[in-house]
């Protein structure tokens, strides 16, 4: 029986499967968050740059669940990085979400010369209790090593592009050795691998879709996963992955699909 939460380094329990809302408009974000929470999701992942924090907050309110039962993540955008501006950006995110605190606050990308100052502000936000955990996104090993030279608190999560054609094993091994949880964005490869014969064949065996197989592969690989959808049926389908288990051989077959294929920017070369 798979645990539905993962204990972060500071003892906080983070759901292993959540809803991502990248490229989702405000109203659609409200609907998809409400549907997800009704389905059983408890982790919602947004970001300031998605420009839908207001819609996410509205979806949370409409769902009517106790705040302590939810796990809400948002992220600090690149143009807001720096010590003072991080504090201001965080306050603005909380206001848009309509929340007193978030469960996880992430630095969205490793902006050179700025992420260490941003992290200092995030450590203060964490100490204040207004973020229950703090972490990073799109950080390679060398970015983390640089951050840790000045950090007092080690990041608890690194959210990275990760899917069967970009398995990121060296980075995952490093993160495991540091006690940093791995979270996948674009976990379904933005749909590019849903017709892959291996994944379709494995799915047939369990009467599951390729997407469900991929989500299950993430979960069994100890990766927190946040598939995105704006369709109620798909949101439900993506959550229906706790009633089957991939064999060790099937896990290896999926691992072997890796071709180090990035669909998003390389964290060493981004210009936004």
Selecting among 50, 101, 105, 206, the annotated active-site residue is 50
Q: What is the pLDDT of residue 2?
A: 83
Other Cβ atoms within 10 Å of 149 Cβ, number: 7
Q: What is the pLDDT of residue 26?
A: 87
- The C-alpha atoms of residue 113 and residue 184 are separated, in whole angstroms, by 25
| 8 A C-beta contact, residue 157 and residue 75 | no
DSSP letter for each residue of 127-189: HHTSBS-EEEES--HHHHHHHHTT-SS--SEEEEE-BTTB--HHHHHHHHHHTPEEEEESTTG
3-class DSSP state of 146: helix
Tokens 């030279």 locate to 149
Q: Tens of pLDDT along 216-266?
A: 999 999 999 999 999 999 999 999 999 999 999 999 999 999 999 999 999
Task: Collect all residues with Cβ–Cβ distance below 8 Å to 15 and sequence separation of at least 6.
Answer: 4, 5, 6, 41, 42, 43, 71, 224
Active site residue 50: yes
Q: Tens of pLDDT along 118-172?
A: 999 999 999 999 999 999 999 999 999 999 999 999 999 999 999 999 999 999 9
| Mean model confidence pLDDT for the chain | 97
């Amino acid at each position: 029986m798979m645990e539905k939460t993962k204990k972060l380094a500071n003892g906080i329990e983070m759901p292993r499967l959540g809803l991502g809302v990248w490229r989702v408009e405000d109203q659609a974000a409200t609907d998809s968050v409400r549907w997800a929470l009704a389905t059983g999701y408890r982790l919602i992942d947004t970001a300031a740059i998605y420009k839908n924090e207001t819609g996410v907050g509205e979806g949370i309110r409409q769902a009517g669940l106790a705040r302590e039962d939810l796990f809400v993540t948002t992220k600090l955008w690149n143009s807001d990085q720096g010590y003072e501006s991080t504090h201001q950006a965080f306050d603005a995110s909380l206001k848009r979400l309509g929340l007193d605190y978030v469960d996880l606050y992430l630095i969205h990308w490793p902006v050179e010369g700025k992420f260490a100052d941003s992290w200092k502000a995030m450590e203060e936000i964490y100490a204040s209790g207004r973020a229950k955990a703090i972490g990073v996104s799109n950080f390679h090993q060398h970015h983390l090593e640089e951050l840790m030279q000045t950090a007092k608190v080690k990041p608890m999560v690194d959210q990275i592009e990760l899917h069967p054609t970009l398995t990121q094993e060296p980075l995952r091994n490093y993160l495991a050795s540091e006690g940093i949880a791995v979270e996948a964005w674009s976990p379904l490869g933005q749909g590019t691998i849903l017709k892959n014969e291996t994944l379709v064949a494995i799915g047939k065996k369990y009467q599951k879709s390729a997407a469900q197989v991929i989500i299950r592969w993430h979960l069994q690989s100890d990766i927190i996963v946040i598939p995105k959808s704006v369709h109620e049926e798909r949101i439900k389908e993506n959550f229906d992955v706790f009633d089957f288990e991939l064999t060790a051989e099937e896990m290896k077959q999926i691992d072997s699909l890796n071709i180090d294929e990035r669909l998003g920017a390389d964290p060493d070369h981004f210009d936004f």
